[in-house]
């Protein structure tokens, strides 16, 4: 089933939604959705042609299958896959989604930068769930929800690692350390060093994505999807400097296959609008507040019935509840 088969899908609403977003006109946008997106049209369909035993390292094995949403005003680009005459990579990028990401970028850039110093921690509180599959006594599979709510303290410079508190207990990851942070385990100081030019930043993200998900890696995720997931992880897990956050949103707008989801609800029930990317029948959504353009959270939604659940069910969903800067792990902002 595609978005057009979804009774909740209204292509006219998708276009009108962008026009109704407050405070910014199309003329104010620095990266207009009407422009052809030429960067990084990678091999996505070629990756999706293979079976899917391997998943992104970030999705925990309890991953969720998610569905597709395709709205009106699609920019479609078709090109042959390098080194293969058997597959074509078809990338669909919606101007409406690009415009929404531009609005999110402008809002992020206007936000005040957090005041931090080495020795402090970035605090993030999230609420949500994921879905896992387990084998039943009769050989079938049963889906069950797992609480993924957490509080996380990430050392500003990496010297004190990361402390995570969940319902299952508290854990400390000292693996980072000064100078050892990376795209998959960032600190604030690491993020400060990233380029604020969207094209250069996207090249950095793609370079990392190709290492484990490029041609010959055996991964079925592919660089495009991995880049989208990596940017979402960076935006959700650690608050970045405003200029870097803005660049991450604009970099995501250059990834082929980004679409608009007019209505989405985060893990704690807050309504919003989302941008998303489809891969192997999965839809990964980033949900934004329609007034402030602040990132509310991320979820994955089933498009069709499967062992994971019914079509339309959010099988993973994580909402950002609170953020701040504190002096020590275990402390909450305001204490």
From the list 173, 320, 175, 178, the residue with the least C-alpha distance to 238 is: 320
Share of the chain above pLDDT 70, in %: 71
The helix or strand, by DSSP H or E, that contains position 244, with its residue range, turns out to be helix 242-252
Rounded to whole angstroms, the Cα distance separating 112 from 108 reads 9
Tens digits of per-residue pLDDT, 76-128?
Answer: 333 222 332 222 334 567 899 999 999 999 999 999 999 999 999 999 999 99
Q: Which of 56-70, 83-97, 229-243, 250-264 has the lowest mean pLDDT?
A: 56-70
Residue 286 has pLDDT above 80, yes or no: yes
- Sorted by sequence, the CB contacts under 8 Å of residue 45 that are 6+ apart come out as 81, 87, 88, 89, 90
Q: How confident is the model at residue 93, as a pLDDT? A: 75
Residue 229 has pLDDT above 90, yes or no: yes
DSSP state for residue 241 in the 8-state scheme: P
Rounded to whole angstroms, the Cα distance separating 298 from 320 reads 9
Q: How confident is the model at residue 15, as a pLDDT? A: 54
Q: How confident is the model at residue 177, as a pLDDT? A: 56
Cβ atoms of 322 and 333 closer than 8 Å = yes
Tokens of 11: 């292509």
Rounded to whole angstroms, the Cα distance separating 270 from 280 reads 27
**SS3 state of residue 279:** strand
Rounded to whole angstroms, the Cα distance separating 314 from 265 reads 9
Rounded to whole angstroms, the Cα distance separating 303 from 75 reads 22
At residue 133 the predicted structure's pLDDT band, cuts being 50, 70 and 90, is: confident
**SS3 state of residue 235:** helix
Q: How confident is the model at residue 179, as a pLDDT? A: 62
What is the model's pTM?
0.76
- The whole-number average pLDDT for the span 25-47 is 39
253 burial via Cβ count (<10 Å: 0-12, 13-18, 19+): buried
């Amino acid at each position: 089933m595609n978005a057009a088969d979804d009774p909740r899908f209204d292509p006219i609403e998708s276009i009108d939604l962008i026009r109704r977003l407050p405070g910014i006109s199309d003329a104010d946008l620095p990266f207009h959705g009407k422009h052809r997106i030429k960067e990084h049209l990678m091999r996505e369909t070629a990756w999706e042609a293979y079976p899917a035993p391997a998943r992104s390292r970030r999705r925990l094995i309890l991953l969720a299958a998610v569905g597709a949403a395709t709205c009106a005003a699609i920019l479609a680009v078709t090109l042959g896959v390098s080194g293969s005459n058997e597959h074509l990579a078809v990338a669909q990028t919606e101007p409406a989604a690009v415009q929404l990401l531009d609005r999110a970028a402008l809002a992020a850039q206007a936000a005040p930068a957090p005041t931090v110093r080495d020795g402090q921690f970035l605090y993030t509180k999230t609420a949500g769930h994921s879905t896992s599959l387990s084998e039943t006594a009769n050989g079938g599979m049963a889906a069950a929800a797992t609480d993924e709510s957490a509080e996380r303290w990430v050392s500003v410079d990496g010297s004190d690692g990361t402390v995570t508190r969940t319902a299952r207990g508290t854990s400390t990851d000292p693996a980072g350390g000064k100078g050892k942070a990376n795209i998959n385990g960032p600190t604030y100081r690491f993020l400060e060093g990233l380029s604020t030019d969207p094209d250069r930043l996207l090249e950095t993200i793609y370079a990392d994505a190709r290492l484990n998900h490029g041609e010959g890696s055996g991964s079925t995720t592919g660089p495009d999807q991995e880049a989208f997931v990596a940017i979402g992880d960076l935006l959700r897990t650690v608050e970045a400097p405003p200029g870097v956050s803005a660049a991450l949103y604009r970099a995501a707008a250059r990834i082929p296959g980004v679409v608009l989801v007019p209505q989405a609800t985060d893990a704690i029930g807050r309504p919003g609008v989302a941008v998303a990317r489809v891969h192997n029948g999965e839809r990964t959504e980033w949900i934004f507040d329609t007034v402030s353009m602040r990132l509310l959270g991320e979820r994955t939604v089933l498009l069709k019935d499967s062992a994971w659940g019914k079509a339309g069910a959010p099988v993973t969903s994580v909402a950002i509840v609170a953020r701040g800067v504190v002096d020590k792990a275990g402390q909450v902002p305001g204490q």
